[in-house]
Amino acid sequence: MLSINEKLIQEFSLKPFQVENAIKLIDEGNTIPFIARYRKEATGQMSDEQLRDMFDRLTYLRNLEKRKEEVIRLIDEQGKLTEELQAEIEKAETMTEVEDLYRPYKQKKRTRATIAKEKGLEPLALYIFAQEPATSPLEEVAKEYIDAEKGVETVEDALHGASDIIAEIISDEAEYRKKIRSMIYRIGLIVTKAAKDEKSVYDMYYDYQEPVSKIPSHRILAINRGEKEEFLKVKIDGTDDEIISYLTKQTIKENSPYEDFLKETVEDSYKRLIKPSVENEVRGELTEKADEQAIKVFGQNAKKLLLQPPLKDLVVMGFDPAYRTGCKIAVISETGKLLETTTVYPTEPQNDVEGAKKKLLELIEKYKVNMISIGNGTASRESEMFVADMIKDIKHKIYYAIVSEAGASVYSASKLATEEYPDINVSLRGAISIARRLQDPLAELVKIDPKSIGVGQYQHDVNQARLEESLGGVVEDAVNSVGVDLNIATPSLLKYVSGISKTVANNIVKYRDENGKIKNRKELLKVSKLGPAAFTQCAGFLRISDGDNPLDNTSVHPESYEAANKLLEKLGFKVNDLKDNLAEVKIKLGSVNTKELSQELEIGEPTLIDIIKELQKPGRDPRDEMPKPILRSDVLKFEDLQEGMVLTGTVRNVIDFGAFVDIGVKHDGLVHISELSDKYVKNPMDVVSVGDIVKVRVIKVDMEKMKVSLSMKNVE
């Protein structure tokens, strides 16, 4: 039997040292970002994603072992544990198998079988089920069990009770359940029917069926939601005859004297006891897999959104569109400071285009605004048309961009927003968030519950605890991959840094407020509740841009400073040359033989390669290498769209069946999975990610439904 480590090695195609070291590091309390970044030699350069997947599986396998031990103990306490049963439990691969084996020994509520046993009918049931050659007719045997005091008044009563006991024995057999589950997965059909005569978004499922083996995750979740909202009735079909035939062969002996009686009992056992519970288990497993897939898609989309490149050193006007209540405006400085807010009414019903234009042009001129960030919600396109027309009158270069405003209203009403802007009206806070999303998407989006950032599918239907845990990990990985400026980061950003709790994040800001800018990473040890262990985990992810030591502005960990200094010395430089003489340092670093030098400096080659990369670009932001948002200066109307038109757009969401792309009209267009590439695409994420800038061709425009279908095939 394989150990947990051996299973992980096999399942993840890893080497023994990778699994052993990764588990040891996790068990010692190291965070995933820290292990992925600073323990590459120990794990053989496993990525944060690999480490999280392996950790999830490790947790499951450990819980499985714990449950096996518990089940063995519980059966042993009943005096019913045999060597064979113990071996079966220890061999089980899943929780379901363990529970199947425990089922016959589990304390049951009163069932028809337990009531029959209370009436003394168990010996009769066991006699019938043994199927020995008959010495007398079944009715004669059953007569002996008539006992009016116990409620067995007739032969029929006795036989019904015996049948109930046998049905439960069959139902409790772990091997049968395992086989039946595999048959459902092999030949079963998910069948859905309308639960009420009413049009809904679930129309396609009103008379629908699909093999259990082929149904994709997003359809499972759609069907589950339709059932929950009482529009659909759902069942698993297509297996009854084959399963009953299998159970009959397994339980009824050749030339059995009680064949007819047992055939009815087998059918009752399957339809009344086995089918409902096994179907629930199968649907539960399908939902669990669909949940995991949806959570994975959501996580990948969220990470891409969080890692959108910032537009630095720009004065941004946040424009939160609306109709009746007016468009909320916030002007934000290059450093993210709020300069001014107002409300204008260029949209219906007021249509005060001239008044709005006059006010905004004043603000643009006053603060030298370079960029307008427009939220993509209600009245977005009307606002875009207004902005595109307005900026024609501006002398200096100014652009606008459409940004996702998902979660802006959640942030506006949050406790955090109230703390940040106690004197600003709730409705205006959304405009501040929309402006800042363009300046630094990561710093702004971490303030919002990841579930509310609008890049998932069925996020409210999946296991919420699991979603929260997964998205917490995604945000943590995103924040740590970028790094955080220690002297300007808010507590909401700092709390996601490896090793930093919410309390410590607040303490860092408090320390900064009381003592001024932090000058070096070592100073962090003076922060309340930030001890050596937390320092080890967080130090490499925190940046100090103008501190005492240029290395503090890189992701080189303090534990590697000695090696970094030796490397610079060997090349004839000092650490301050990273500020004063960077061009020469970069040239010399580019010609280093990392294999030889890593041995000389006594550090691993992967760590040395990372150090060299950091020394070549101190203060670098990995997001700078990603495509910037599309900046527009004119507008495209839905009515302008024509089939064959080629446009540039931004991928806003990636789901199992394709990707939604913002092409600058009111509604995002769908690139169906079949239109993503000339080659077969199994997973849309293999082709596109949230935030990608893509060229698409319009293949269908539905004016009535305001839907546009797009293709990425053969687009020049």
pLDDT tens readout for residues 128-186: 999 998 888 999 999 999 999 999 999 999 999 999 999 999 999 999 999 999 999 99
pLDDT beyond 70 at 631: no
Confidence of residue 363 (pLDDT cuts 50, 70, 90): very high
Please give the helix or strand (H or E) that residue 167 lies within, else none: helix 155-171
**Measured distance CA(379)–CA(435) in Å, rounded:** 17
Pick from 631, 617, 654, 629: nearest CA to 309: 629
Confidence of residue 193 (pLDDT cuts 50, 70, 90): very high
Contact 494, 448 (CB under 8 A): no
pLDDT tens readout for residues 28-37: 999 999 999 9
pLDDT beyond 80 at 621: no
Q: How far is CA 546 from CA 440, 481, 526, 543, in A?
A: 20, 21, 19, 9
pLDDT beyond 80 at 278: yes
**Spatial CB neighbours of 561, under 8 Å, sequence gap ≥ 6:** 549, 551
Contact 319, 431 (CB under 8 A): yes
Question: What are the respective helix, strand and coil percentages of the chain, to the nearest 5?
Answer: 55, 10, 35
Question: Within 13 Å and on the Cβ side, how many CA atoms surround 76?
Answer: 10
pLDDT beyond 90 at 626: no
For domain 502-625, the CATH architecture is Orthogonal Bundle (1.10)
Q: What angle do helix axes 48-77 and 95-102 make, rounded to 10 degrees?
A: 10
pLDDT at 273: 96
pLDDT tens readout for residues 571-582: 898 999 888 888
- Per DSSP (E only), the strands in 247-365 are 316-320, 327-332, 338-344
pLDDT tens readout for residues 390-400: 988 788 888 88
Pick the CATH number of 316-439 from 3.50.50.60, 3.40.50.300, 3.30.70.100, 3.30.420.140: 3.30.420.140
pLDDT beyond 90 at 44: yes
pLDDT beyond 70 at 684: yes
For the chain, the domains span 4-105, 316-439, 502-625, 638-711
Report the CATH fold assignment for 4-105: Arc Repressor Mutant, subunit A (1.10.10)
Write out the CATH class of domain 638-711.
Answer: mainly beta
pLDDT tens readout for residues 412-444: 888 888 988 898 988 899 999 999 988 888 888
Pick from 419, 422, 451, 424: nearest CA to 435: 424
pLDDT at 488: 84
